[in-house]
Amino acid sequence: MSFRSRLNVALGLAFLCAVAGALLMSRPASAQGDVHLFVGPGGRLSELDFEQTGLRLGDRLAFRVPLLDGAQASDAGVGYAECVVMRRITDDADGASGLYRCNYLLHLADGDLIVDGLDPHGPGVASFAVLGGTGAYAGATGEATVTDSAAGTEFVIVLTG
């Protein structure tokens, strides 16, 4: 085999290796696996309560919270959220009621995820849409189940794309 032939074979192999490496490194978000998070203790909350006392249509909440991994054993990132009141928020003898529309940016070590949906006030389960992400979650789609209970808030995010 001539030197030129060996050079062409070597360049061809190098090109194939580069393409294979790029494909492996740019796996879709669904290949990253599902994401399981808990809202940790602490954080900061601001209420934007316009005109009347009590949270009513158009009032807002903005907050930043620490995120823990699924085992609640280690720091997983930070969650940023903005919620708009869609139905008056109350806590009375009949229990909690009201409705928020919330947008969360979940800032994780390997990228960000954005989820959005309607969240009932008080304990319960809500489904949110995964709107996208960055880094390992670039192009992410799927569904997030958000569970609020006396134990705290849990995110289970199933990535489909």
Give 31-46 pLDDT, tens digit per residue.
Answer: 457 999 999 999 999 9
Q: Which helix (H) or strand (E) holds 76?
A: strand 75-92
Chain mean pLDDT for the chain: 83
Q: Tell me the average pLDDT across 6-13.
A: 35
Res 15: pLDDT? 34
Nearest to 44 by CA among 60, 58, 61, 68: 61
Given a contact cutoff of 8 angstroms between Cβ atoms, the answer to whether 126 and 146 are in contact is yes
| 59 within 8 A of 83, measured Cβ to Cβ | no
Confidence of residue 53 (pLDDT cuts 50, 70, 90): confident
Q: Is the pLDDT of residue 160 over 70?
A: yes
Residue 57 near residue 87, CB atoms below 8 Å: yes
Q: What confidence score (pLDDT) does residue 61 get?
A: 95
Q: Hey, how many other C-beta atoms are within 10 angstroms of the C-beta on 115? A: 26
